[in-house]
Chains A and B, each alone.
Chain A
Amino acid sequence: MIEVENIHKSFGDNHVLKGISTQFEKGKTNLIIGQSGSGKTVFLKCLLGLFEPDEGNIYYNGECYSELSVKQRRNLRQEMGMVFQGSALFDSMTVEGNVMFPLDMFTNQSQSEKQDRVDFVLKRVNLVDAHKRYPAEISGGMQKRVAIARAIVMNPKYLFCDEPNSGLDPKTAMLIDNLIHEITQEYDITTVINTHDMNSVMEIGEKIIFLKNGFKEWQGSNKEIFKTDNKAVTDFVYSSELFKKVRQMYIEERN
């Protein structure tokens, strides 16, 4: 579980995060949504430890990040997996090399043990015949799956995803969403996803946090988002005609 307590973050005069407090639960898919510039990426980078908050604390299973020593922070980082928006695969390595990289860096496993683990996670993300290919030789959807495989190869306790299905076609995007959701439940991981995609919100948003201008405007589940009267949330979520109709149908059904 991750607990966030009143975090603030500024860059010069730009006050990006203005006192956000929330909890991300274990075994659940937690989503951060909001318009561009609302502070989602900065918030995610604070959770990852890439940015140090100016004020407030973040607790990982009760341990306050700012009170951890450098070594403890390094160990905590090894419990985190991250799927970047552009996948961030290492160009110079094959798919297999990318997935094996954390094992090479942080374990003393034998080559056969590492190979077994790599084969297992690549199979888990439905990539069985791409081991020797380079990132540039595979599709965007496959790159995302490799990024997920790399993120889970060390059995992380926390999985962070920055817009994991941006740039993907709707079907592939749904496959990626479902894969992350299944992995979260299967391995009991605390997953935090930063997204713009309303399909993701509806499909896998067990807990949703809506940010606006650096504040936490609303939080709830994908069921509750249908019922909310918060104007900022409804304006954002139901900005497309399709979602307006979906909501209308939901309200009519409820009545």
Chain B
Amino acid sequence: MKYLEAIGKYFIMVWEVFKKPTKWRIMKTLIFKEIDELIYGAMGIIIFISFFIGGVVTIQTALNLTNPLLPKSLIGFAARQSVILEFAPTFTSIIMAGKVGSYITSSIGTMRVTEQIDALEVMGINSLNYLVFPKIVSVMLYPFAVAISMFVGILGGWVAAVFGGFAPSGDFIQGLQMDFNAYHVTYALIKSVVFAFVIATVPSYHGYYMTGGALEVGKASTTSFVWTSVVIIILNYILTQLLLG
């Protein structure tokens, strides 16, 4: 019952976010600020993780392809499929839920604790629109980050394959081009848009409706990370079934 109530409250919050918009002149500034914080600020960790995940996937695939009859190009093929279909959109989203989600929950939660949200409401401002809408708009650029993650992940795989001596460059690139289906990239980008919405709204919900003091802000950040991850994993399953099944 408690969970149903929370889900209902979450959807009401999302509805409220789009009501009574803040002046565009002010909103524009907020959106650019959030793009800087949520997307540009997360690029470093996304690139770092994607590069090494791509490398690890390649090494593990290579180590499991012991049969000499199997072509080395399969290493590139497996790396491409793993990175595009799963690692770039889903794994990166879980990382983002930790980095960006915690930031969103703690920043909104601190505003709640220090009565800054009450101050906005007293002024007659739709605090949900003012605080959450720019975050939703800015994370809509997240598919670009996922596209970069795909490129860097595959690059990491190529570096691991070639410099680790697992496959020659030509074979790896041939594997990357083998049976390429552009729809898989579209599928990954559709997933990333949905995950981006979750990453912006679920942590906002936990920050906005938190009660208590500084300790509770920390607890809310942890809870928000757990729930954002759970929602992403469930939606990942549903979207995969719907789009690829």
Binding site for B on A (CB under 8 A): 48-50, 73-78, 80, 82, 84-86, 88-91, 101-102, 104-106, 160
Task: Report chain A residues within 8 Å CB of B121.
Answer: 50
Could you tell me the distance in whole angstroms from the C-beta of B127 to the nearest C-beta in chain A? 11
Residues of B within 8 A of A104 (CB): 23, 26
- Closest-by-CB residue of A relative to B33 is A92
Point out the residues of chain B lying under 8 angstroms from A80, CB to CB. 122
Nearest to B117 among chain A residues (CB) is A88
- A48 is contacted by which of B22, B110, B122, B125 (Cβ under 8 Å)? B122
B115 touching A105 by the CB < 8 A rule? Answer: no
**What is the minimal beta-carbon distance from B148 to any residue of chain A, in angstroms?**
28
Closest to B116 in A: A88
| 28 cross-chain CB contacts under 8 A | A48-B122, A50-B122, A74-B20, A74-B124, A76-B124, A77-B122, A77-B123, A77-B124, A78-B124, A82-B119, A84-B115, A84-B119, A85-B115, A86-B114, A86-B115, A88-B115, A88-B116, A89-B116, A90-B116, A91-B110, A91-B114, A91-B116, A101-B123, A104-B26, A105-B23, A105-B123, A105-B125, A160-B122
Question: Among the interface residues B20, B22, B121, B124, which one has the most CB atoms of the partner chain A within 10 A?
Answer: B124
Nearest to A77 among chain B residues (CB) is B124
Which residues in A have their C-beta under 8 angstroms from that of B26?
104-105
For residue B122, which residue of chain A has the nearest CB? Answer: A82
Residues of A within 8 A of B115 (CB): 84-86, 88
| CB contact under 8 A between A78 and B123, given known A104-B26, A105-B26 | yes
Query: Contacts A77-B122, A78-B123, A84-B119; is A105 near B114 (CB within 8 Å)?
Result: no
Interface size counted on chain B using CB atoms at 8 A: 15
Q: Taking the complex as formed, is B36 at the interface, i.e. its CB lies under 8 A from any CB of chain A? A: no
Extra contacts besides A80-B122, A88-B116, A91-B114 (16): CB < 8 Å: A75-B124, A77-B123, A78-B123, A78-B124, A86-B115, A88-B115, A88-B119, A90-B116, A90-B119, A91-B110, A91-B116, A104-B23, A105-B22, A105-B23, A105-B26, A106-B123
Residues of A within 8 A of B114 (CB): 86, 88, 91
> With A and B bound together, what is the CA distance between A101 and B22 in angstroms?
12
Which secondary structure dominates chain A's binding surface? mixed
| Chain A residue with Cβ nearest B126 | A74
CB neighbours of A160 from chain B (8 A): 122
Asked, given contacts A104-B26, A105-B22, whether A88 binds B118 with beta carbons under 8 Å apart, the answer is yes
CB neighbors of A among B9-27 (8 A): 20, 22-23, 26
| B36 → chain A closest CB, angstroms | 12
Min Cβ gap A205→B in Å is 23
Give Cα A80–Cα B118 distance, bound, in whole angstroms.
13
Enumerate chain A residues within 8 angstroms of B124, measured Cβ to Cβ: 73-78, 106
Residues of A close to B20: CB separation below 8 A: 74
**Chain A residues in 8 Å Cβ range of B22:** 105
Q: In whole angstroms, what is the CA distance A106 to B26 when docked? A: 11
Verify B123–A50 contact, CB threshold 8 A.
Answer: no
Q: How far is the CA of A75 from the CA of B23 in the complex (A)?
A: 15
Q: Which of B107-136 contact A (CB under 8 A)?
A: 110, 114-116, 118-119, 121-125
